[in-house]
Structure formats: C-alpha cells, structure tokens
Homo-oligomer: A and B are copies of this chain.
Amino acid sequence: MKTRFVLINTSHPGNVGASARAMKVMGFDDLVLVAPRWANVLKREETIQRASGALDVLKNARIVATLDEALDGMAHLCATAMTPRDFGPPTRAPREHFAELFGLPDALLEEEHTLPFPLWPRPVSIAFLFGSERFGMQNDDVYRCHVALSIPTNPKFGSLNLAAAVQLIAYDWREALGGFGVQSATAEPQLADAAAVAGMLKHWEGALADIGFLDPASPKKLMPRLNQLFNRAQLSDEEIHILRGVARAMSQKAAAAPQRRGSDSAGKTRTEALAPDDR
C-alpha cells in the first residue's frame, strides 16, 4: 500500500534526517515536508549526518508549502497527536487501528453494508502526519484526518521525540503490512531425543559416582533432578556429545587419581555437603 510520511513545520534538521533513516529501516521512502523551518533542510549537515545511509530518502523527499499539496493522492489520513482534541477524528492506538485495517477477511470487507457497524474500508494509500516538535499538529490539520493515532506512552511523560514517533509508527505499520523477517542465526539445532538424553544421564550417573559426588548406595533424587534440568535445557545432539565428553573426562580423571586413604568416608562426606537434599 502506498505509504507517505508528512512532517509539518519541522524545526530540527536532525529530526528530518533521523526520520528518513527511521522510514528506510522499515522499508518506506515517501517523505514530504510541509513548510519546514529551514528551506534547505534536506541538504543541511545535521540532516545528512542523522540520516546515516538513508540519503536516497532525503533525495526523493519533497518540500511543499501547504498540507494540501503534501496529501495529493492520499486516501487515508492519520494524524499523530499526543494531546486529545475537543473535537476531531477518533483517537486510537496505532496497533489497534492497523489491526482493524487489516484484521478482517476480504469477504467481510466487501459486504460491509451487511454488518451492524461499518468497518474501515481498506484504503489504497495512507499518509501519516506529524506536527512540529514544539506545538504538535494544528487543530485544523487534525480535523481533516480519518483518525488520530496516539502512541501509548507514560502518562507522566509523553514527550516522544519526533523521529522516535516516526520510528514507532513506521514499525507498527510495517508489522501490520506483514513485517520483515528476522534473520535467524544458524540452522535450528537438532534436538536430542529422549533416548539420547537418557543415555547421557546414565553416562553421567556413572561418572558422578566415579568422582565421589553420587553415592550409588544412597543416590537420593540427584538423577531425577538432573533429568529435569536437562529436559528444560532442550539439549541438542551436539550438546549430548559435549556432556558425554565431560562424563568421560570425569571418569578418566577419577581412575587416574591416587586412591586416597579413607576415600570412602571422605567421598561420602563430600556428597553430603554438595548434593541437593531430597526433601
């Protein structure tokens, strides 16, 4: 859907640059400035600096004198207003509004006149309007919009930076349009099956006895506890190999260690001290 961001009477070049970047990072590129404070704002150093790599958005941006010109060809007009108006379009949270724009099956939308309450017809184009940093949107500009989007913020501190507001709206709108994918790390690990976990635990049970941590004559609930721990961890096959390697090394070291005199009782004492109790 054709999407346009309209900044009205913007003062700070940094916000124009940051808005361009915020738009591009969410895949939007149609930026129109209505009577910005600086006529050369698109070419100012701070604008370009804050735009980072979104110079193409700045290059394509238009500067116009009136909101009428900025809205040319746009069907659905969304004001962004932090302060409610006495009169004007309904105030809604962006996610709620976008969900309603997209959340209904086509069949229902086409037959909207049969429904008890009319639904938003899906517009073919949408414009997001942002007012000046200091004063927000003028009432007359809000009144012509279909909706006033209000980003839910801290009731005690709703001072959202202009470019931050552009970023949030661009994000919510992109998500509503279907969203970009998240590039996952490497392939999903192959989860070990229950038999692999059980085999590893058997291996550990022996190794823990070898190093004197587990007393086979009085194992308490140590193994079931470890079983639960490893279940929660969702072990991969590779991790089973690692854990079996640890068990092997424990047993090898235990076999190589000199038999300490009184190791039986010493071992038992250590078990008492370290093993979780079985209450």
Contacts and interface: CB of A to CB of B under 8 A. Distances in A.
Contact of A183 (B90, B91, B167, B181): B91
A123 interface: no
Interface string A213-235: 00000000000000010011110
Contacts of A160: 25
Given A25-B153, A161-B18, A86 B186 contact: yes
A132 to B, nearest CB: 15
A21 B161 contact: yes
Contact of A150 (B95, B167, B183): B183
Interface of A: 18, 21-22, 24-27, 50, 52-54, 83-88, 90-93, 95, 112-113, 117-118, 148, 150-155, 157-161, 163-164, 167-168, 171, 174-175, 179-186, 228, 231-234
Given A53-B159, A90-B185, A148-B185, 8 more contacts: A18-B164, A21-B164, A53-B157, A87-B185, A88-B185, A113-B228, A152-B174, A152-B181
Nearest to A227: B113
Given A118-B232, A175-B95, A155 B180 contact: yes
A161 B91 CA distance: 29
Nearest to A151: B171
Contacts of A88: 185
A145 to B, nearest CB: 12
Contact of A118 (B183, B184, B231): B231
A154 to B, nearest CB: 4
A27, A54, A87, A171, most chain B CB atoms within 10 A:
A171
A186 B85 CA distance: 7
Contacts of A93: 179, 182
Contacts of A86: 185-186
Contact of A175 (B117, B152, B158, B180): B152
A22 B168 CA distance: 11
